[in-house]
Structure 1
Amino acid sequence: MFWFYNRLIISFSRSRQMVNTRIDADLSAAVQNALQTLLPQIREEIREEFR
């Protein structure tokens, strides 16, 4: 999970000419919160898929 999250943030940051660290911090927190919220659902779907 954290590998994907880190790659997403790095990719987004590199795609812009100027890096605004405040926006990056806000984006980082938002992505992390979203992934943490979705993680239980993702785990359940994976369990169901491989039963």
Structure 2
Amino acid sequence: MVKTVYVTGYKSFELNIFKDDAPEVSYLKKFISHKLEQLLDEGLEWVLIQG
């Protein structure tokens, strides 16, 4: 069971996303939200975020 998750940002060139309104951004946000919800249901206690 995962107790702590560390979430970091990304460089635009790493994912080839250069605009905030690119369609890929919404998919990434949905994926991250879904994954965090799954982990919370499994007992996640801490989320560390670096932006």
Name the TM-score, length of structure 2 as normaliser.
Answer: 0.48
* Structure that is richer in helix per residue: 1
TM-score, normalised by the number of residues in structure 1: 0.48
Which structure shows the higher strand fraction?
2
Q: Larger C-alpha radius of gyration, 1 or 2?
A: 1
